Amino acid sequence: MTKSSPPYLTFDPAACRLRLDPHEPAFFQNPYDAYAFLHGASNAFFWEEFGFWCFGGFDDVNRLLRDRRFGRQNPAGIPDSRGIGEDRTHLIAFDGIETNSMLELEPPVHTRLRTLVNRAFVSRQVERLRPRVEALANELIDRFEPAEVDLLRAFAAPLPITIIAEMLGVPVEMGPQLLDWSHQMVAMYMHGRTRETEEMANRAARDFSDFLRGYVAKRRKQPGDDLLSLLIAAQEDGQKLSEDELVSSAILLLNAGHEATVHQTGNAVRTLLAQGGDPGRFFTSPEATAATVEECLRFDAPLHMFTRYAYQEIEVIPGVVVQPGETIGLLLGMANHDPVAFAEPGAFRPGRPDQKNVSFGAGIHFCIGAPLARLELQVSLKTLFERQPQLHLAEQPRFRDTYHFHGLERLAVGF
């Protein structure tokens, strides 16, 4: 049975064109009603407000993430997923970071950068952090106010930024400043950004870069057992990261190393509490904990759209042709709720046999921080519900008006 259209969207089935304001509160508070309708109407559609074709079927998204005829690097110049053609002189510092970011590059440069960075970021290196993540989770819980806390500020945000700062070897007390710079830079990816947003992002990129260059200079003289030192020393066929590449890589790891994890932690706590009963039942063994985290990643992902450029004329699906340089949108949150790929996609089932997701992407741009994010989520959620079995919502949480990055404004809980 085809689900009826939500009142805030209009869909032309003949042309497969969607009109849906991503800033519509009913949508960004719960995009899954719109996704359910679209799965029944068409998994591919031209989203008028964004101005490009979007794809939300699980198989299509998984396939297109791996299709090398598409990529992140803008074929017209600056690897900037926010568009080109306008005066960008006020974005020199921001573009300087993006130009050397492996997230925005394609082979062969991407391959060299990722190989160098990955040597300092493999699963076995990350697994060594498990005791530290657990100790930090307990420290943060010890600091909770007795009656009510905003779990995002008190727990979800400080944990990943502390871990990545310690990994990089930069002062943990800089955490709030690093978060501020990161938030201002990430705002460049949002729909409907303003000139003020761009200027703030550029200042943040400049200050962030200057800060890291100072620490790179220190580590060159006095190497330590930290990620910056490892990145400085890492070589591939005699090639090292340039200083610009090193700074861009460190900023990417800092930004990606906490932004999505904060949102996913908040979304996961909200989801688990909505199941009723004792959330501790989801964490009775390492296997159960891992399965719970995977279902949280599928059920309410922190990133809902990932854009790519076409590098040639491509018939993406029958009847939908894109031209070189055109953007497509891959809807990760919609793909994770595809009824063709998942039995009862709207049900939270950690033990489901069809467990999979595209929340970390796929292909050569698969999230390099996925092992760390998974570990942080497994340890922090298990520790939280073991320490606070009476945890409950103090108020109904609301999502931020940032469709692209699906996360809560705050998460007020009591004990």
Supply the pLDDT for residue 249: 87
* Minimum mean pLDDT range among 45-54, 202-211, 217-226: 217-226
pLDDT band at 290 (very low <50, low <70, confident <90, very high): very high
| 8 A C-beta contact, residue 114 and residue 364 | yes
Instruction: Tell me whether residue 365 is in a domain.
Output: yes
* Residue 84 binned pLDDT confidence (cut-offs 50, 70, 90): very low
Would you say residue 289 lies in a domain?
Answer: yes
Query: What mean pLDDT is reported for the chain?
Result: 91
Cβ neighbour number for residue 176 with a 10 Å cutoff: 11
Calculate what percentage of the chain has a pLDDT beyond 70: 94
Picking from 271, 247, 249, 242, the residue whose alpha carbon sits closest to that of residue 385 is 271
Residue of higher predicted confidence among 100 and 201: 201
For 90, the domain range is 10-414
Q: Is 385 a domain residue?
A: yes
Residue 189: is its pLDDT beyond 90?
Answer: no
* Assigned domain for 4 exists: no
**Domain at 174, CATH number:** 1.10.630.10
Please indicate, yes or no, if residue 179 is contained in any of the structural domains.
yes
Assigned domain for 238 exists: yes
Q: Is 3 among the domain residues?
A: no
Provide CB contacts within 8 A for 58, sequence distance 6+. 335, 336, 338, 340, 341, 342, 356, 358
Mark out the alpha helices in 222-312 (DSSP H runs): 227-233, 243-256, 259-274, 286-299
Least confident of 98-107, 208-217, 357-366: 98-107
pLDDT at 298: 98
**CA 136 – CA 263 distance, rounded (Å):** 18
Q: Does some domain include residue 360?
A: yes
Are 358 and 334 within 8 A, CB to CB? Answer: no
Task: For residue 193, give the nearest of 401, 408, 415, 9 by alpha carbon.
Answer: 401
Nearest to 46 by CA among 378, 376, 347, 327: 327
Once rounded to an integer, what is the mean pLDDT over residues 41-56?
97
pLDDT at 47 over 70: yes
> Is the per-residue pLDDT at 204 higher than 70?
yes
High-pLDDT (> 90) share of the chain, %: 67
Q: Beta 44-47 vs 17-19: how paired, if at all?
A: parallel
Task: Provide the number of structural domains found in the chain.
Answer: 1
pLDDT digits (tens, 9 = 90+) for 123-137: 677 888 999 999 999
Distances (CA, A) of 151 to 94, 141, 179, 220, 269: 31, 10, 16, 38, 9
What whole-number distance in Å separates Cα of residue 374 and Cα of residue 129?
12
